[in-house]
Amino acid sequence: MTVSSRSHETLRITLLARDHFAPSHIDTALPTLSDARTGEDHSRDIARDHAGGAVGVFGVSTAAAGLAGADALTGYAGMASAVLRLGLGGASTAITSAYGITAAGGGTLVAAAATTALTAAVGGPVVAAAAVVGTVGAVGDVGDHAVRRVASLFD
């Protein structure tokens, strides 16, 4: 496999992951608004869907990193890619700044570099992925309850 065909395959896999694994905000909000009207509670399903989507993004991002030639750093590259895909790069930057984790020259780490430093600090890609998946699931649950609360104000 040549470098350009490897890059094309990586892009194709990343796009497939985006389209099939990451739930959109509208996919979450509409059932929640319906639940608010009917009194049903699907927050666990929504949390499970978000966490499952995050697992899918991590799996595909790691596979894409491996196909791109990350070799021994595949887990770290996949983690950085998945965190950015999930929109959590800013959170990684904030956490590294809060804990005083900096680059060798003392500069602030941002996005992928911050994610890689955090991944190493918590014990590696598997531990970091588990933490992010749990957090994404919890945020899905909290978001469901928040939308339901706001919807109840309009009834």
Per residue, what are the HEC states of the chain? Answer: CCHHHHHHHHHHHHHHHHHHCCCCHHHHHHHHHHHHHHCCCCHHHHHHHHHHHHHHHHHHHHHHHHHCCCHHHHHHHHHHHHHHHCCCHHHHHHHHHHCCCECCCCCECCHHHHHHHHHHHHCCHHHHHHHHHHHHHHHHHHHHHHHHHHHHHCC
Q: Per residue in 106-127, pLDDT tens?
A: 888 988 999 999 999 999 999 9
Stronger pLDDT, 112 or 1, i.e. the higher one: 112
Mean pLDDT in the chain? 80
What pLDDT is stored for residue 79 in this prediction? 93
Asked whether the predicted pLDDT for residue 72 surpasses 80, the reply is: yes
What pLDDT is stored for residue 1 in this prediction? 46
Confidence of residue 66 (pLDDT cuts 50, 70, 90): very high
Q: For the chain, what percent of residues have pLDDT higher than 90?
A: 30
